[in-house]
Structures are given as C-alpha cells and as structure tokens.
Structure 1
Amino acid sequence: MAINNLLVFICCIFILSFQFSEAIQAGSLVTNLPGFTGNFPSKHYSGYVSVDEKNLFYYFVASERNPSKDPVVLWLNGGPGCSSFDGFVYEHGPFNFEEGNPKGSLPKLHLNPYSWTKVSSIIYLDSPAGVGLSYSKNESKYITGDIQTAVDTHAFLLKWFELYPEFLNNPFYISGESYAGIYVPTLASQVVKGIKAGDKPRINFEGYLVGNGVTDRMFDGNALIPFAHGMGLISDDLFEEVEGACRGTYYDYESNDGCMRSMLKVDEALTGLNIYNILQPCFHEPLSQQDSNANSSLPASFQQLGATERPLKVRKRMFGRAWPLWSTVKDGIVTLWPQLIEGDEHRHIACVVDVAGSWELCTDRITYHNQLGSMIPYHKSLTSQGYRALIFSGDHDMCVPFTGSQAWTRSLGYKKIGGWRSWISKGQIAGYLQSYDHNLTFLTVKVSISSLRI
C-alpha cells in the first residue's frame, strides 16, 4: 500500500464519524482509523468550515499532554496546492505507518513517538479551496492568490475558534513549510490586523514557525550555488566559473547568457538528486515527464516563481513536497481506496468525492497568483511587534536551501543573542541555531525538515 493511498483514507475517515453535508460542519469526533488498533492518545476531530462559498477541510488533533493549556498550532503545507495531510503523515502527525502485506491491503498505523502532538494541539488545514478535500461548487474560487488565501484562512480561524471555544485562551501559533513561507507571515499579519480591529473571537496569537520557507526572490534564488558547493555537489572549478559569470546574482540568470550557460552546467551536475533531501533516493512518476520543468533539476526558486501576479498552475512550478520527487516507496493505487472499502458504514465516502472531487496530495485544480513579493517586510513587522518567530531549515533540503534562510534572517539587522551554537536532542547534536533579539531564531535540522523531532 503506497503512502499516497494512506493519505487518501486518512482524508476520508472523518466521514466515518458523521453524516457528510454541504452545510458548515461542527467538529466531529473521530474515534477510529482503518489500520490502527488501540486507543488514540488524544481526541481527534474533523470537519468543514465554510468561507465565502468555499468549504475548508480540517483535521484537528488535541495535544497528548495537556490540551487545556498546550499551544494550538495551525499547520499548512506548501505547493501552492498541497494538502496538509502531507505533514500529518510524512512529518509530525500522531501516526507512523508500515506498508500493508499482502499488496493492496491496508497499511498498519503505529503511534509516532516524535509527534508534535506530544506537546501541542494541531489543526491540519487543506488550503486554499480546491486543495485536498477543501472545495467550492463555484469553481471560479479556484483562481486565487496570496492575498485571498490569507483573508480566507483568517476567516476560517475565527469560525474554527467559535466551534472550539475551549481553546481560545491557549497560545496560538501558525506554522508551515516551503510555499507556506508565504502563507504563514501573510496569515499572521492578517490575524494581527484582526486583533487590532477587535475581531471576535479574539485569537491568542503568540508567534509562528516556518520550515524551509519561500521568502524572498533574491535570497532564495541566490541560495543554491553556495549550498551546492558547500555540500560538494559541484566542483571548485564550476563554482568559480558560475561565480565569475553570474557575479553573485544567480536568481536572475536568464538575463545573462554567460551566467545561463554556467547555470546549465550546474543543472546537469544536480540532475537525479532529490531536491527535498539530497541524501534520499529520487523517484519519478511518468507524469513528471509532462511538466514544463521536468528536464531541469534546478529548484523552483530558480524558476522565477516570485514574479508579481504571475499565475501558477500547480504541478508546473512546485515548492515543497513536489509530488514526483518526495517518496521512499513506490507509488500505488491512490484512486482505488474507495473501491477497497466495503460495508454500509463507509457509504459517505463516495458522497464527499462526488462533491469535493478526487483527493490528491498536490493538485492542479487551482490557479494561484503569487502577488506580494518579498516576505522580509512581513517578518520585520511581526517580530518588531513582539511576536515569536522560529525560522527552521532542514540542512539537506535543496529546494529552499538553508543558506538563503540564514542570509535573510541575518539581513534583518537584529542583535545576536549569543553565538552560533548546536542544539541537542536525546544526547545528540540535532542541528544549529542563531538567536536574535525580537524573539527571532534561525535553526537548522540535520537532514530534512521531516526529521524535526521533539
């Protein structure tokens, strides 16, 4: 059973617990998951929240420690266009899994000893509408961008806290990875505006976390060459050639013929690597050959993604867990899950698929506009107002390399609190960090962001 098939059934299981309808859904308790035996370590809820003809799907996992006091964290995967169940299954959700045996059987789920839900409650949200199981009957709503996504997600949060008022006093944090480097600070700014405007209910917002986040066209675009050289992926000779030809401006290489020729050599040297974790194997699906960038290994930060108002048909230009490249097992029967389930208790699965459409890890159903340029002014504004910020990077992620995040956090000009130092997990060095005033921390995690464990 493939990983994606697991994602499909996890996205669908909320239907097992309550009758699906197109109306706004109060949270419904999830009491079991196919493939898992035993009791959940905390309460799970799932449902829809309606915002302007859009029905946004969430899965909420209460903290296993002290849900009445522990932080509530919103998690957003990137893309744009990728379901946040990616984070639930691949990274920090409450379960690990193993492949089913024999082939085609359900995967077995086990409790994840490193889940973030050990210390916090997490809302996994499919956003914007059209992603995962979030949908709209008005398909014009699938044409969207940074501004509307932030507005819609803020509206979602206000309604979500009305459904779960017992969590209003808990510290609230916004988190995400990759293209969520744009989702997170724009949403955080929207939340802060709402607090100042007196929006009710009042969200107890304290800060945010961004992992390998898209931030700034120049910093992100200039990050790859020093990363690739430092990791031993390109030779000294090629590094010096590119440095001389591009004169330190690698992100705008198409305007310089000499730089472009050198960058093509870099591209050739990097071909075949998994850009999300250069230590992991790279698996390709046949569909990847149809992509306009399929002949290029250069990360999306080199594909001019940050151009203002440029519409992005997802799967053409992808940040974060891009579907052809991130996998450690072979792809499987993603669309066959409903056919594998028998019994009247599962009758509502077909209903949600009919309304929301077939679930995909990363969809091409939406058209997305990158509208706001650099996120650095957003980070500067939020941190200067006292909100906590953790900017973390898997140190082997080549899509949005740590070298760019390290550079832009330093560019804010904040005073360093102490020096560069290691941080420890279970007696071992797990990465390095630099603290700044204004509650800003830049932190690296050994290997990739999916390795971040508490």
Structure 2
Amino acid sequence: MARQKVMVNSRSQDIEKKWVCILLVLVSASAASSQYIVETLPGFPGTLPFKLETGYISVGDVEFFYYFVQSTGNPGADPLLLYVNGGPGCSGLNGFLFQIGPLKFNITDYTGGLPTLIYEPDAWTKTANIIFIDAPVGAGFSYATTASAYVSTDTLNTAQMQTFLRNWLAAHPSFQTNPVFVGSDSYAGIYTPMLATDILRGNEAGLKPYINLKGMILSCPHTFTDLETNSKVHFAHRLALVSDALYEALEVNCGGNFVDSTNVTCTEDLAAYNELVELVNRHNVLQPDCASLSPKSKEAFKSAISNQEKHRRSIQEFTKDYLVSLPRPRDLWCKNFGYLLADIWGNYPSVQDALHVRPGTVTEFFRCNISLSSYTMDVDNVLDYHKNLTSLGMQVLVFSGDHDMLIPHNGIEAWIKWLDLTVDIDWRPWFVDGQVAGYTRKYKDSGYRLTYATLKGSGHSPPEYKRRECYEMFRRWIHYYPL
C-alpha cells in the first residue's frame, strides 16, 4: 500500500498572530457568570444520582452555556475535563447524553411524548469532573448579546474557550488545583491543540486563575483536512469497498492525491470510487445508511413540539412534521433515532426550565446546529500545534473507531507517525472483560506521552458505539494504568 504523506500548513503562523490579538481582547472582558444546581430533570424518575450544575459564563458579548457534572469518585482530586463536541455547532448535551455522560435516552420504549432518561453506568464522570460546553456561540443554548458577536471562527472560538475556562475556574475556586485536561470529539479536534497552546501561553503570561493543564483527550479528531480526505480511499480499499484494480488505478493516476486532481483519468477514477461508497454509512460502514434529521421549518418544528406536549402523538405522526425524509420504517431503528429524541427533549419548556435556560435567548434547540451561518472554518491543519506540544510534557490520549470512514483511523495513525515520537510499547491488543476491545500503541518523547487506541467495531464517535470499552480505556489511562 502506498505510504501517505503528511504536509504542514504554512498558514499556522498567520493564524497564531490573529489568535494572540483575539486573546488579548477576550481576557480583558468581565467574568460574569451564573450557576444553578439541577436536582431533577424531566424524563428521569426521582433525584439525579450525581451533582449536576448548569449555567452561563460570559466571554465578551457571548454567553456560553455549560453542563458541569461533578465526579462521583473523588471530586477534590479527580481531574477536571473540559469536553467540546464537534460539528461545528454540536451542543454539550451530545457528549453528555450520547458519549461520556451519566444519562442516556430510553430508546427501546419510546412511543411518543417526552423522551425518558436512564442512568448510564459507564460514565466518565465516575472518575472525572466534566464540563460539557455549548460552543461555538449558536450551539445548544449559548447565545450572544449583540449581532456581531455571533460571528465566529475556529480561531476565535478557541480563544473564547480558553477565557471561558479561566472564568469558570474563577467562579469555582475549589477546582483550581485539580489537574486539567481538554477533550474533544470529531471536528473539535481542530480546537484542542490550539486551546492547549493558548492555555500554556496564558499561564506563562500570568493570566489568572492559573490552569493546571496536564494533557489532551482526542476522540476521532479532525486534524488535517487533506490528509483525512486522502486516507478515506486507502481505508475503503482495506475494507474491500473498492476493488484492487480500481485502487491501483487511483494510486497510479492520482499519485496519492485525491483532493485537488486536474488529471482527467484521476477524476474518472474518483467518480467510480464515489459511486461505490455513496450509499455506505460514513460514520460506521457496518451500519445502515439512515435518513438525515432536519426540521422543515422553524414554524413546523415549534408546532410539532407543541402538539407533542398536548396530545402525546405517536413517533410516526411526529416525524411527518419534523423530518425532511424518513422513507422507510426501518430508518426508525437507525442510530439517528436517538438524535431525534435529543431535539424533542431539548425543546420541551419544562426541560429548559429545569436546566435554567434563560427565556427568549434561543428560538429552538438542536443537538447539532450545523447551519451556523456566521461561522467560518479558518483552520484546516493543526499538525504544527501538535508538534510544538511534544516538547511541553503533555499527556495525550487519541482514540478512533476502526470502522469510521468520516475520519479514518489510518489517517490519524499517519499524523501520529509524522510527529516522530519514540515507540514505548508497540502495537498490541487491549482487553475489556477478557475480549479484545481494540489495539493500542504508546509513544514517548522527553516527558511527552501519547497513547493511541482503536475501538474494535466502532464508528464515529467511538463512545456512541462502545461506551463501556471507552470508559475502561479512559479510566485506565487517566490513572496512569496501561490499557
């Protein structure tokens, strides 16, 4: 198989200069905040078996909404994790309810009305304090007080999150000595190394409170767009989605570059490749390709929610108003069904009241608001940031599903190899309950330690498919045990 090349984006220095200017503006902003303890949630029977706090942290003209779950282990000593979801535009509730948090939807018994919640025994909050944030502005329940403040970019959002974390710690002084990790999922992998760099620079500059940053956790991270695009062709061939003959033709005619080819023969080969994988679920090639979820209009969505509350209609009736297309009954058994419940649940007035969402600040809630019209993706390569952090003693966990075609594992492995670290423990299986959960390799370099792990049979994002295995991986790694 042809070896993949990793190229570093020369734009990173210009982005860094803009970033410093943004940071200087943000740190001068007042650190207003509001916090509420949430003891019950609609859809969950009784009192929550963990401490949940919600609230807002002001960063300039942006009010970032967050969900903080205190560790049920030893909160005074357990690490503090700031967890950011991708999209860009996904709410912190995505991580809270579908990935690493202590609650999940009861999908099997749903027949309409308010979705019910059940306890998740393999939550990362068993051994960590976790802040789930609605970021960038416009995601979840976060909002801006001025129209201009809705304009955001990867660079600005990263700088805002650094200020958010310092302001959050100022409002929660008892956690200022806890070890801090920044974590991300999917697209938010772009933010993580920039955020870690920003935090360390801020510490050096004397910004208060000091952030006791120890490392990063990256789940199926978006890191370098071109590398990820090229890796998909290799990934498809590995899983027999394309023939040997077509793959060899692609390698010869495209020269390993499947992004911006002007070669007519390469273009024809890519068209044949795209036709073969068109109906494959990119999130997990083993699962059915489900209908997408999006409301027909704001009015239709609000009407559907209102009617749900009044009449408890069946899910089939509800989806007539809510979905652009659900052509086959079996689609309701697809993974996207849980995402539908998140949008239904989050738009109940009683849910927003329980979470202490400020009335009138958000028209409607979406698990992932992927139509952020004022958001610009201005960074497509953060390899320089990762490389620079290797000299700063960071502890890093990178993990990926081995059936994820959105950000394939072989692309992640390529940029890790590019970091040119020393292999500490070579490729081996790791186990949960006596079964192979995936494969792992550990690297080290002058105090910097990186653990890479795959989740066998998992897609994008791994905790949404293998919650127990991901918890065991996290628990061992965060406490410095081998996987």
TM-score (norm 2): 0.76
C-alpha separation in 1, matches of 2:134 and 2:266: 39
Shift of 1:261: 1.5
- Determine if contact 1:416/1:436 at 8 Å carries over to the other structure: yes
C-alpha separation in 1, matches of 2:400 and 2:439: 10
Q: Does 1:403 align with 2:414?
A: no
Partner of 1:445: 455
C-alpha separation in 2, matches of 1:331 and 1:73: 24
One-letter identity of the residue aligned with 2:452: F
Q: Residue 389 of structure 2 is aligned with which of 356, 375, 382?
A: 382
Shift of 1:198: 1.1
Q: Does 1:155 align with 2:160?
A: no
User: Which stretch shifts more, 167-176 or 443-452?
Assistant: 443-452
SS of match in other structure, 2:361: helix
SS of match in other structure, 1:384: coil
Q: Does 1:146 align with 2:154?
A: yes
Partner of 2:258: 250
C-alpha separation in 2, matches of 1:66 and 1:237: 56
C-alpha separation in 2, matches of 1:349 and 1:266: 46
TM-score (norm 1): 0.81
C-alpha separation in 2, matches of 1:62 and 1:286: 32
**Equivalent residue runs for 1:128-277 within 5 Å:** 128-253=136-261, 255-277=262-284
One-letter identity of the residue aligned with 2:260: D
Map Cα deviations across residues 136-185 of structure 1 (whole Å, 9 max, x no partner): 13122222112111111111001100111111111100001111111111
Q: Residue 416 of structure 1 is aligned with which of 414, 417, 423?
A: 423
Map Cα deviations across residues 293-332 of structure 1 (whole Å, 9 max, x no partner): xxxxxxxxxxxxxxxxxxxxxxxxxxxxxxx998342775
One-letter identity of the residue aligned with 1:453: Y
Shift of 1:337: 5.4
Q: Residue 362 of structure 1 is aligned with which of 334, 344, 368?
A: 368
C-alpha separation in 1, matches of 2:276 and 2:295: 19
Q: Residue 45 of structure 2 is aligned with which of 37, 45, 69?
A: 37
C-alpha separation in 2, matches of 1:265 and 1:217: 22
Shift of 1:379: 0.8
Change (3 A) 1:264 1:339: closer
SS of match in other structure, 1:240: helix
C-alpha separation in 1, matches of 2:413 and 2:372: 34
Change (3 A) 1:149 1:325: farther
Where in structure 2 are there 5+ consecutive unaligned residues? Answer: 1-30, 298-331, 473-483
Where in structure 1 are there 5+ consecutive unaligned residues? Answer: 1-22, 291-323
Shift of 1:356: 2.5
One-letter identity of the residue aligned with 2:292: E
RMSD (Å), alpha carbons = 2.8
Change (3 A) 1:360 1:55: same
SS of match in other structure, 1:223: helix
**Equivalent residue runs for 1:270-349 within 5 Å:** 270-285=277-292, 327-329=335-337, 332=340
C-alpha separation in 2, matches of 1:325 and 1:219: 33
Shift of 1:335: 6.7
SS of match in other structure, 2:144: coil
One-letter identity of the residue aligned with 1:85: L
Runs of 4+ in 1 over 4 A off after TM superposition: 286-290, 330-342, 345-351
One-letter identity of the residue aligned with 2:454: T
Map Cα deviations across residues 325-358 of structure 1 (whole Å, 9 max, x no partner): 983427758776588667xx97688973522231
Change (3 A) 1:118 1:227: same
Shift of 1:100: 7.7
Change (3 A) 1:164 1:268: same
One-letter identity of the residue aligned with 2:367: L
Shift of 1:27: 2.1
C-alpha separation in 2, matches of 1:37 and 1:280: 32
Q: Residue 35 of structure 2 is aligned with which of 18, 27, 38?
A: 27
